[in-house]
Amino acid sequence: MDEPGHATANTQVAIECLTIWLEGDRETAAAHIANIQNSPDGPGATGIISGFLNLSELLVLNLAASRGADAGNIRQKAGDIRREWSPRLLE
């Protein structure tokens, strides 16, 4: 599991990668991820994956909140969203 400082740094790396990805240049985004993964001072594959998972958690929790979830049920609503998305991934 990430330590707090590493979790923040890894999530920032994920945001960098997502930013390039959303610009539509998938080749550049993939090359950027490969460079970070192979960098001796980078987070490595495990750090990149945990960063993307941290970012995904933040995004799905924000989506749950935007759909009316509160502190008492936000994780349940986030799980509902994940289950809602799961069948669609097979299409």
Interval 48-75: pLDDT, tens: 999 999 999 999 999 999 999 999 999 9
Closest CA to 86 of 78, 61, 59: 78
**CB within 8 Å of 63: residues ≥ 6 apart:** 78, 81
The pTM assigned to this predicted structure is 0.81
| pLDDT tens for each residue of 6-52 | 889 999 999 999 999 999 989 999 999 999 999 998 888 899 999 99
**Domain total for the chain?**
1
State residue 25's pLDDT score: 86
Q: Which domain holds residue 40?
A: 4-89
Angle at 75 between CA 85 and CA 43, to 5 degrees: 80
